[in-house]
Structure formats: C-alpha cells, structure tokens
Amino acid sequence: MCGIIGYWNQEKDACPIIIESLKKLEYRGYDSFGFAIVLNNKLSVERKTGKVSSTEYQNFPGVIGIGHTRWATHGKITENNAHPHRDCFMKIAVVHNGIIENYQEIKNQLSKKGHNFLSETDTEVIPHLIEENIRNGLDFKEAVMDVCPLLQGRNSFIALSSDQEMIAFRNGSPLILGVKKNNKIPEIFIASDIQGFLDETRDVIYLDDNQIAIIKENLEFYDINTKKRIEKRLIRLDIDLKEAEKGSYPHFMLKEIMEQKKALRRAINQDDKNLMHLAREINEAKGIFFIGCGTAAKVCHIAEYIFSKIANKHVNFVQASEFENYNHFLIPETLVIAISQSGETADVLESLEIAKKRKSKIISITNTKQSSLDKISDYTFFINAGIEKAVASTKATTSQLIVVLLLAYACAGRLEEGKRILIDLIGKVNDMLNPRYELHIKKLAEKIYQEENIFIIGRGINYPLSLESAIKIMEVSYIHAQGFAGGELKHGPIALIKKDSPVIVLMSNDESKKEIISNAIEVKSRGAYVIGVSPENNPIFDYWIKTPNVEAETSPIVNLIPIQLLAYYLGILKGCDVDYPRSLAKSVTVK
Ligand code: F6R
C-alpha cells in the first residue's frame, strides 16, 4: 500500500522524474499524491487528491526530492492528509508506507511538547520526532536513527532534510534502491517497488528490515540495531521492460489475462529435484497449512481440494488474517505454505514471523524475487508470471494454481504424468483465449452488466473457485457478486433469487455434475438466468460458456479464465477503472 519514491542526483530536475515514478507506483494506492523538492535549503511541497496521472500539479526546480502516492489508512482523503508531511519548521519532509501502531501515544507526547500537527495521519509524527531529536542536539542522521526503533508496526519511510540529506528506513514494507551510473556522479532512486525506476536502471540494492540508506555526498548503509555501517550488494536485474507496459492492449487486466498462455508455461518450469524434495517434506510434515489473502487465499482454498484429489492428503487452508487463531498448532514439524503474488502482504508476513518463531518450516509460492516473503521462507517457488500490474490478479492466480498442482502431483509420486496433464491443459488455454471466445463473453456481459447481484455456484473444487469468481467480478465491476457451494444455496441464499437473477454455474467433468445441475434447476425454478461455465452444454443453461474438457483437479484454471474476462467486460461496460478499482491497492502492506 502506498508508493514511495526518493530521487537524488546533481544535475537533472527531480520533479518530472518523481512524477513518472509515481505514475508507475500508482497501482499501490491512488487516492492522493504529493512530493517535496529541495533547493537552496528550502523544501517545496505539492499535495493533491486524485491520481497523479490525471491531476494538475505544480513543478518545482531542484535535483533532489521525494514523492508519495497514497492509499489512505489514517485520515480521510484530503490534501492535508496526503504526503509528504513536515515538522514544525518545514525543514524535514517525510513519505511513509505502513501504519505506526503507537502513533497516538507519540502524537500526545509531542503535542505536550508544543508540536503542531496539521493532519490526521500517523505519518506526521515522524518528521516531528526527527525535529525533536535535532532540537536535542542530534544531527539529521542520528535523529532519524533514533526515531526508527520507536515506530511500532511495519513501517518504511524516506525523510528529506532542507540540507539536501535523504534517509530511507525499511521495516516490514519493501524499499529498493536503484543506482544509475552514466557518469561519475550516480543518480539514486529509492522506491517501494522496482517499477518506480525500472525505466532508468536495473542495478538495484535491496534494503533489508532495520536498515537505513543515507544519501548525501555518498551512499551509505547502516544497521539500526547495531548503529554500525554495513556494506550492501548491487544486483543487476534481468527484467523485460515490455512487461511493465500495456502495449497494444487497452488495459493491463486484459493484457495479463491474455498473457496466461505464456505465463502458465513459465510456471510449470520448476526444478524437479526441488519439487520432489519438498513433496517429501509435505508428505512427512505434521500439519500443513496453506495461507494467503484475497485471491491468493482462494488459491489456498482450492489447494485443499487439489491435495485431497491428487495426493489423498489433507491440508488446511487458512486466510492469513485469521491465522493467529491457528498458530498455536504450529510445531517444528509443521509446514506452512504461503501464497502471495507480491510477497509483501502484511497478514501473510506476520503469520510467517510467528511460524518462524515456532520453528515451523516455510515454503512460499510468489511472483516476486527478493520480496519479504522470499526472504523469510526456507524455500521459494517463483511462479514467473512476469509483472502483474492490474490490481485484480489474473495470470498470477492461475500460475499459482500450476505450482500447487505440481506439488500435489509430486506428493502423489505422479510428477511426470502431472506435467504432461498440465502441458496439455496449457495448449487448451491457448486455443481458448481467442477473439471469438472473448466476444462470446462480452455478449454475456452486455446482457447482465446492469444487474445488482450476480450469484456463482459450484460444488467440490468449483466451490472455492466460485468465491474467487465473486472477488474478481466485485472488485472490477462493483456489482455485488457472491459465491456459494451449490448445496448451500437452499439453506438461505436462495431467498435472494428472483426473476432474471444471473446465476453462474461452474461445472467440471467430475462426480458433482448431476448435483450441481440439480442446484441449477432449483434456481431456474425461481426465475434465475442460468449461465453455465462447463465443458458440456445442458438444456438448463440460458447461456453457455464452453470450457476445455480437462481433469477435474486442473479445471479451476480453465473455469476461471472466462470469469476473469467476464469481470473485465462487466467493468468496462460499467465505466469502471478496471486496472485501478476504487479503494484497492495491488500490494497490501498494512494489516
Ligand atoms: C484480487 C487480488 C487480491 C490479492 C490479495 C493478496 O484480485 O489481487 O485479493 O490476491 O491482496 O495479494 P498477494 O497475492 O500479493 O499477497
């Protein structure tokens, strides 16, 4: 949540560079933005509500600055609450990502000392704490280093002084430095994501928790706990820039749906030895938990069914935000498998910190190398889906499913066969994602986009998929959508079904076919408009979306793709900002 950027050089104007970075980081939060530029010992600050890509702002001269694109946590969406925040003398500006859990306490203490607060945010305590330390005789570096340990929760920030010194601190939320050396004096970027500077450089330094980077004449790193200087390694990233662009597609979401053809192939390309080794660990573990949030949690839920079907193994699925109710079960022999596209989701990371303390083993499935999740895990599977920019996850979801399936096949001693099944499935996905198919789904969207509610039902493995389908439709089109287990409908929710209520029936070629058709008949009897998503047609369907005929355990991949397209077209027809749905952010780094 929130995108932060710092830029330091000695000749180029910082403002346009910071603005470009903020546009790239916008997917992390986009309700307001702001920046601070330093020139001649004076900080100039601009703050605006709205998205940086569609709002007017003023430019300031100066070669050093910081910027922020906000996802509001503490305080309404106003210019006053937008970052950067400053101290009483307007000499220190701070951009921040995270939540300072003890900010109220700090704010009360500082107010008693006469500090004047202008916003409702937690962030504003940071510049005032730094100011207080400077008043007490510390220099800027010492003042910032003293503040870092006081902030409870997951917090990363960049502080800029009017003396042209910039300090970045990481604890919990990512901060990455980009170094561009075209001449002797480098340009330095600090961002919450490499996308903030990928156009400029791929030479990066990953800041770890409780480390700070200081940029003045040189670039220096310190460990906050020891207060000692440390050395950090420069890494050259191998990333295709085109991945971060829309190309000829109107939206990232559509591009990423279409990219599934290639992404799934990359996901399947895992190291067999590691798969077999970890499959053994899964088979020997005492208790296995799959944890994740949102869509990734739904993949975890589907994993329960996949492991049951393929490997005859019971695994537990828990939403990471609820994991604290289960973590007393963790012992060293327990295995926690975390799924997260970003690798930065706060609830997942906090759960894993507990697992680590209890010495349980951690395996992760993520899209992001060097993410906090990667760092905390004993072993990481990278899905290699490529950059996923649209807030609604599509290609990462199906790629995560591929890795879960590979693990389940490996546990069952059927890895080679499983890979053949998946390669065959990917071929079918290729055939499926064609313009005619897209048009067929678009036509359905045209029929139902004015509805207030969409119901999705599924049995067996299609039940958790119905929940994921509902997330996709809701977040992109703002139509209320809800997924149900087919058998549960008549225990309450069927009361909502009336004439023309759209009910999507997810069906696979498995033993639950007859029963889900009975459930479809039940809703049809109450006037529902029944949409079948299945390999076979059925007279009960008013509209049929054909899916490839695949093994039931792999069917969530092919059943989900048409729903992703439907969500996309519903969003377009409703005039929604499909890549940046309201109130959402791609990377949820706060609890
Ligand atoms: C919905 C969506 C979110 C994420 C969730 C977890 O389309 O993308 O529900 O799945 O915020 O994010 P990651 O996977 O980064 O942990």
Distance CA 172, CA 145 (A): 16
Can you give the pLDDT at residue 397?
98
- For residue 171, the domain's CATH number is 3.60.20.10
d(CA 176, CA 194): 7
Q: Is residue 587 part of a domain?
A: no
Residue of 340, 368, 389 best suited for mutating to test ligand 1, as the one with most atoms within 8 Å of CB: 340
Question: With a 6 A CB cut-off, is 294 part of the ligand 1 pocket?
Answer: yes
Nearest-angstrom CA–CA distance, 403 and 513 = 26
C-alpha–C-alpha distance, residues 343 and 217, integer Å: 33
327 lines ligand 1 (CB under 6 A): no
Residue with tokens 């997810």: 506
Q: Is 394 close to ligand 1, i.e. is its CB under 6 Å away?
A: no
Residue ID of nearest Cα to ligand 1 atom 5: 294
Structure tokens at 130: 């730094």
On whether both 288 and 420 belong to a single domain, the answer is yes
Does the residue 591 lie in any domain?
no
Q: What is the pLDDT of residue 245?
A: 85
Ligand 1 pocket member 589 (CB < 6 A): no
Which of 1, 154, 293 for a ligand 1 pocket mutation test, highest count of atoms within 8 Å of Cβ? 293
Residue nearest to atom 9 of ligand 1 (CA): 294
Residue 586 annotated among the catalytic residues of the structure: yes
CA atoms within 13 Å, Cβ hemisphere of 184: 1
Give me the amino acid identity at 469.
S
Q: Which of 364, 374, 393 to mutate to test the pocket of ligand 1 (most atoms within 8 A of CB)?
A: 393
Pair 575, 449: CB distance under 8 Å: no
Mark whether 576 is an active-site residue: no
For residue 583, tell me if it sits in a domain.
no
Instruction: Assess if residue 246 is contained within a domain.
Output: no
Q: Which atom of ligand 1 is nearest to the CA of 297?
A: 10
**Residue 345 Cα, ligand 1 centroid: separation in angstroms?**
8
pLDDT at 53: 86
pLDDT at 41: 95
Q: What is the per-residue burial (b if ≥16 Cβ within 10 Å, else e) of 426-462?
A: bebbeebbeeebbebbbebbeebbebeebbbbbbbbb
Strands 3-8 and 187-191: antiparallel
Cis peptide before 84 (omega within 30 of 0): yes
Q: Are residues 284 and 423 in the same domain?
A: yes
Q: Verify that 398 and 417 share a domain, yes or no.
A: yes
CA of 588 relative to ligand 1 center, distance in Å: 8
Using the atom order of ligand 1, give the atom closest to the CA of residue 587. Answer: 15
Distance from the Cα of residue 498 to its chain's centroid: 36
Of the residues 413, 432, 451, the one at which a domain ends: 432
Pick the atom of ligand 1 nearest to 342's CA: 15
567 lines ligand 1 (CB under 6 A): no
Q: Report whether residue 351 contacts ligand 1, using a CB cutoff of 6 Å.
A: no
In short, whether 73's Cβ falls inside 6 Å of ligand 1 is no
CA of 446 to the centre of ligand 1 (A): 27
304-339 per-residue burial string, b: 16 or more CB within 10 A, e: under 16: bbbbbbbbebebbbbbbbebeebbeebeeebbbbbb
Residues 233, 264, single domain; the answer is no
Q: Are residues 89 and 212 in the same domain?
A: yes
Beta-sheet strand order (sheet of 42-49): 42-49, 32-39, 64-70, 3-8, 187-191, 176-180, 203-206, 235-236
Do 154 and 346 touch, CB atoms closer than 8 A? yes
Among 24, 107, 309, 586, which one carries the catalytic annotation?
Answer: 586
Question: Is 94 among the domain residues?
Answer: yes
Same-domain status, 277 and 364: yes
Residue 545 three-state SS = strand
Say whether both 273 and 207 belong to one domain: no
For a substitution probing ligand 1, which of 391, 588, 589, 591 has the most ligand atoms within 8 Å of its CB?
A: 588
Same domain, 392 and 405: yes
Same domain, 154 and 267: no
d(CA 26, ligand 1 centre) in Å: 16
Distance of CA 232 to the CA centre of its chain: 26
Domain end residue (candidates: 412, 432, 452): 432
Q: Are residues 226 and 273 in the same domain?
A: no
> Which residue, 381, 411, 432, sits at the end of a domain?
432
Number of domains in the chain: 3
Looking at residue 584, its pLDDT comes to 85
12, part of any domain:
yes
- Six-digit token string for 398: 């199906």
What is the reported pLDDT for 66? 98
Residue 385 CB–ligand 1 contact under 6 Å: no
Tokens at residue 259, please?
């990219």
Q: Per the structure block, which two tokens stand in for 371?
A: 């993410």
Domain that holds residue 526: 434-578
- Same domain membership, residue 256 and residue 180: no
State whether the beta carbon of 293 lies less than 6 angstroms from ligand 1. Answer: yes
User: Token digits for 343?
Assistant: 């690798």
* pLDDT per residue of the chain (591 residues) written in tens, 0 to 9: 789 999 999 989 999 999 999 999 988 888 899 999 999 999 999 999 998 988 999 999 999 999 999 988 888 999 999 999 999 999 999 999 999 999 999 999 999 999 999 999 999 999 999 999 999 999 999 999 999 999 999 899 999 999 999 999 999 889 999 999 876 778 999 999 998 999 999 999 999 999 999 999 889 999 999 999 999 999 998 877 777 789 999 999 999 999 999 999 999 999 999 999 999 999 999 999 999 999 999 999 999 999 999 999 999 999 999 999 998 999 999 999 999 999 999 999 999 999 999 999 999 999 999 899 999 999 999 999 999 999 999 999 999 999 999 999 999 999 999 999 999 999 999 999 999 999 999 999 999 999 999 999 999 999 999 999 999 999 999 999 999 999 998 899 999 999 999 999 999 999 999 999 999 999 999 999 999 999 999 999 999 999 999 999 999 999 999 999 999 999 999 999 999 998 887 778 777
At position 118, the amino acid (one-letter code) is: L
Q: Are 210 and 155 in contact (CB under 8 A)?
A: no
Residue 165 belongs to some domain of the structure: yes
pLDDT value of position 591: 74
Flag whether 588 is in a domain. no
Asked if residue 473 and residue 372 are part of one domain, the reply reads no
Cβ of residue 340 lying under 6 Å from some atom of ligand 1: yes
CATH code at position 513: 3.40.50.10490
